[in-house]
Amino acid sequence: MYNYGSILSRYAKLASVGNLLSFALSVTVYVFLAIGLYTLATRRGIKSAWLAWLPIGNMWIIGSLADHYRFVAENRVTKYRKILLGFTIAVAAVSIIVVPIAIYFLVMAFSYGFGGGYYDDSILKMTGLILLLFLLSMVLLVLAIILAVFEYISLHKIYKSCDPSNATVFTVLSVIFPFLIAFFVFSQRNKDLGLMPPSYYPPQYGQPYDQYGQPYGQNMPPYGG
């Protein structure tokens, strides 16, 4: 006979190792992204750069860096930071509403299923919950898609501000493999190649200098408020 207890124990250990590795990877990605965003925001004079370490605050920093690029490189004022923050909060709010309703629906379905049948009021409740969950799920999907579109637009602007030659490749890879965003931002955190005209790049130096001979971004006024 098979020792099912031993088999289950092995699967449990494998699941534990998998969960541990997944958690470690998630923490690593989060830290790399936070360091990259914080460094960029600090170097470019973005207000409240410490928000890069917060789950929702990092979206504000991503938008602020994109707005900063549009302002410095294209002389245009945009509001990516407010758009990203608004849609991030909206997605979080709808998610908070959907989760308890879904749990309540599952509890009702389970209890009524074991109760031996449905009553008229139970059917109405279940139907109402299904419709509500469907509508909220559609709203959540639309909000998430809009948020993703503006996030990747903002990331493309950030990549262009750091290294225009690789911006498109980084953006495409970020869409296909989202976990790479953290490593791209981290690797580009000390570059400003897309913020100054090429004539301001002395070939003997590794970073762009302004017309006064100072490293670009060192004395920039605060932006992003």
The 10s digit of each residue's pLDDT in 127-179 is 777 888 889 889 999 999 999 999 999 999 999 999 999 999 999 999 999 99
> Cα-atom radius of gyration of the chain, to the nearest Å?
24
Pairwise CA distance, residues 6 & 38, whole Å: 48
Whether residue 76 has pLDDT greater than 90: no
In this prediction, residue 72 carries a pLDDT of 84
Average pLDDT, stretch 89-108? 86
| Neighbour-count burial for 5-21, b at 16+ CB within 10 Å, e otherwise | eeeeeeeeeeeeeeeee
Least Cα distance to 48 among 91, 93, 81 occurs for: 81
Least confident of 56-60, 76-80, 109-113, 177-181: 109-113
Q: Residue 221 has what DSSP assignment?
A: P
Residues 167-178: tens digit of each pLDDT: 999 999 999 999
Q: What global pTM score does this model have?
A: 0.77
Whether residue 210 has pLDDT greater than 70: no
In this prediction, residue 219 carries a pLDDT of 44
Pairwise CA distance, residues 53 & 34, whole Å: 5
Average pLDDT, stretch 71-99? 91
- At residue 197 the predicted structure's pLDDT band, cuts being 50, 70 and 90, is low
Least confident of 60-69, 160-169, 213-222: 213-222
Average pLDDT, stretch 76-83? 92
SS3 content of the chain, % helix, strand, coil (to 5): 75, 0, 25
Question: Do residues 46 and 61 touch, judged by C-beta distance below 8 A?
Answer: yes
Pairwise CA distance, residues 186 & 194, whole Å: 16
Residues 16-49: tens digit of each pLDDT: 766 778 888 889 999 999 999 999 999 888 888 9
Pairwise CA distance, residues 186 & 174, whole Å: 13
Mean predicted lDDT score pLDDT of the chain: 80
- Residue 46 phi, psi (nearest 5): -75, 135
